[in-house]
Amino acid sequence: MQTLSQDSRQSSFQHDVLIIGSGAAGLAVALNLEKHVKIAVISKRALQSGSTLYAQGGIAAVLDNADSTESHVQDTLIAGAGLCHEDAVQFTVEHGKESIEWLISQGVGFTRESSTDNSDSQDTNGEHLTKNDYHLTKEGGHSHRRIIHAADATGHAVSSSLCDRVIEAENIEIFEHRVAIDLITHKKLFLPGNRCVGAYVLNDKTSQVELFSARFVVIATGGASKAYLYTSNPDGASGDGIAMAWRSGCRVANMEFNQFHPTCLYHPQAKSFLITEAVRGEGGRLLLPDGQRFMHRFDKREELAPRDVVARAIDHEMKRLGADNLFLDISHKPAEFVIKHFPTIYERCLEFGIDITKQPIPVVPAAHYTCGGVITGPDGRSDVNQLYVVGEAAFTGLHGANRMASNSLLECLVYGRSAAQDIMSKFEDIPPPPEAPLWDASQVTDSDEDVVLSHNWDELRRFMWDYVGIVRTNKRLQRAKHRVDVLHQEIVDFYSNYKVTNDLLELRNLMTIADLIICSAIQRKESRGLHYTLDYPEQLPIAQDTILTPTNFSARDW
Ligand SMILES: Cc1cc2nc3c(=O)[nH]c(=O)nc-3n(C[C@H](O)[C@H](O)[C@H](O)COP(=O)(O)OP(=O)(O)OC[C@H]3O[C@@H](n4cnc5c(N)ncnc54)[C@H](O)[C@@H]3O)c2cc1C
């Protein structure tokens, strides 16, 4: 373990609120705090980064008179396969409309009804609303039109506006290329109580570790889908915040529920490119490497079966055949139709030498969303005092065993706002943080064998994909547990002896995440929602969360 010392050459910063993460959740907290609050927002990459930037579809909210809170609640509960917390669903849905109004007030330009060109849209269901100012679409699981969007790049619009507002704000300081390593708590400082007072942060440009002290700390670091070989998420979705909170004593829940998107482009140079479900909606056929169709063997709706059914069928066939990928073919449709309906996919695939009007697209399923996370209440508070967790890193009870499309950005906004309100309600009562020692790297050296990192990184994501992926068995989970225990020790050794780098920190966190996912999956003796195991194919009559507590956990202490 790297130790702490007083080294005056290192930088230290003091703020009222430290926000780790600059996606929708982190920026929603920052912009909802009062203007006299001194805020630091840190991001391990550029300010505009994270999954928020890549969200395509939109944000779910009850905005149309024909729709209702009850209906949105019911749809969410059904998607969650009996495991949603009804109070969390109700709370989220009730705050939907005001969250969208807030985004509009921050300058987000959602697509208006009049500006919609139906013929060019990639909306999954191809239907369009005519009742409101803003255009609403309908996605899988939603029984009404309630997805507000900015064309097919909603995340980009949300992220751009919120980043602009944060840059303008005089009370918000932005720190880019800063990787939070670990939280500083009273426990670590041998002080009484259980309070979070800051974080150690790697400056990725100078390689120095900086000390950020704050009265309140907010984790908004996004999901953990990088634990899998194939993911739709951008680099950096390594579950850092979940792992950091876990190491500081927070409970986590339902980490076994990982949502997989059925079709991501398979190409060595193509990272994280989704092939929208609309391709299947417009007649696209899934094919085996020998050109045979296979979906009829899994579901009578064939290619139009729900997302998890299609992902499971593709996974089954890939494992059965030992294939690296399968194919999605739309080339039987006229070329003009394909180019008109899917211009972005056409262009992107062409960059990789794939002409989708003439040949099938190589695809694999990809890890897309982390339903579990750090347990929080409706105000974003975690088990550690003055530590809040919001967005994809949090477990609020909203998603249950399966996230309904477009509820996740809504969750970022609703809980980002309520966390800010809770911080303001306690603001005057919380004293400044105590002094914390600076980071001491005097006992560690530069690594001379980074191959250990790249090897372990590949191995972890491969065995998570093969053994803890879409279809699980007891045997596969036990194999994965064995592998993760061995890798754990290697990474602990590496962390103790070498200077921290972004790659090492992400691998260390991914190892913790993998362990949490595996242990949660082993505990669930049923198939429910996104967790499917051949050993327990039935759903149990009583739905229960899988809650892991750091003190009772078998995994090694970091
Ligand atoms: C391709 C794609 C499409 C999607 N489409 C939709 C959609 O249409 N509708 C919807 O509701 N949801 C969608 N989602 C899901 C949604 O985008 C995410 O759940 C949501 O954006 C998460 O927001 P967040 O603020 O929690 O995290 P993110 O937006 O992922 O932001 C995380 C932030 O934390 C920072 N960070 C991480 N670790 C550290 C660290 N150690 N130190 C410092 N900073 C750190 C990152 O740099 C980043 O700034 C989609 C996701 C993907 C990947």
Q: How many CB atoms neighbour CB 152 within 10 A?
A: 20
d(CA 319, CA 308): 16
| Long-range contacts, stretch 99-106, CB < 8 angstroms, 24+ apart | 99/59, 99/61, 99/410, 99/413, 99/414, 99/417, 100/59, 100/61, 100/63, 100/148, 102/413, 102/417, 103/59, 103/158, 103/161, 103/413, 106/31, 106/161, 106/162, 106/165
d(CA 74, CA 101): 23
- The CA 469 to ligand 1 mean position distance, Å, reads 21
Residues 13 and 40: beta-carbon distance below 8 Å: yes
Q: Quick one: tokens of 77?
A: 């509960």
What pLDDT is attached to residue 10?
Answer: 61
What pLDDT is attached to residue 1?
Answer: 46
What burial letters (b/e) apply to 38-66, b meaning 16+ CB within 10 Å? ebbbbbbbebbbbbbbbbbbbbbbbbbee
Splitting the chain (558 residues) into consecutive groups of 10 residues, what average pLDDT does each group show?
Answer: 49 97 98 98 96 90 96 95 98 98 97 58 37 77 89 90 98 98 95 96 96 98 96 95 97 97 90 82 93 96 85 93 95 94 88 97 96 98 98 98 94 98 98 94 83 92 95 97 94 91 96 98 97 97 97 46
What pLDDT is attached to residue 344?
Answer: 82
- The CA 261 to ligand 1 mean position distance, Å, reads 15
- The CA 25 to ligand 1 mean position distance, Å, reads 8
Minimal CA–CA distance to 23: which of 199, 166, 149? 166
Number of H helices, E strands in the chain: 14, 20
d(CA 464, CA 258): 11
What pLDDT is attached to residue 114?
Answer: 67
Looking at the DSSP bridge assignments, the partners of residue 445 are 498
For ligand 1, atom 5, name the residue with the nearest CA: 55
Residues 93 and 69: beta-carbon distance below 8 Å: yes
Ligand 1: residue of 221, 240, 263, 374 to mutate (most ligand atoms within 8 A of CB) is 221
Q: Report pTM.
A: 0.92
Which residues are tagged catalytic? 307
For ligand 1, atom 10, name the residue with the nearest CA: 406
- The CA 369 to ligand 1 mean position distance, Å, reads 9
d(CA 125, CA 65): 20
Ligand 1 pocket, residues with Cβ under 6 angstroms: 20-26, 42-45, 49-52, 54-59, 154-155, 178-180, 220-222, 232-233, 236, 240, 274, 369, 391-393, 406, 408-409, 412
Residues 234 and 50: beta-carbon distance below 8 Å: yes
Q: How many CB atoms neighbour CB 442 within 10 A?
A: 9
For ligand 1, atom 37, name the residue with the nearest CA: 221
What pLDDT is attached to residue 152?
Answer: 74
Single-letter amino acid code for the residue at 130: T
What pLDDT is attached to residue 101?
Answer: 97
Minimal CA–CA distance to 198: which of 430, 453, 14? 14
Q: Quick one: tokens of 104?
A: 């509009």
For ligand 1, atom 35, name the residue with the nearest CA: 21
Q: Which atom of ligand 1 is nearest to the CA of 53?
A: 29
d(CA 142, CA 522): 31
What pLDDT is attached to residue 130?
Answer: 40
DSSP 115: G
Query: What backbone torsions phi and psi does residue 401 show, to the nearest 5 degrees?
Result: -90, 0
d(CA 484, CA 511): 7
d(CA 233, CA 258): 12
Q: Which atom of ligand 1 is nearest to the CA of 505?
A: 41
Residues 515 and 487: beta-carbon distance below 8 Å: no
What pLDDT is attached to residue 120?
Answer: 33
- The CA 309 to ligand 1 mean position distance, Å, reads 25
Minimal CA–CA distance to 246: which of 384, 379, 368? 384
Minimal CA–CA distance to 550: which of 169, 110, 247, 255? 247
Ligand 1: residue of 13, 22, 27, 52 to mutate (most ligand atoms within 8 A of CB) is 52
- The CA 266 to ligand 1 mean position distance, Å, reads 22
Q: Quick one: tokens of 199?
A: 């974080």
For residue 188, give the 3-state DSSP assignment.
coil
Extended beta strands in 59-208, E state: 59-60, 136-137, 147-148, 172-175, 178-185, 196-203
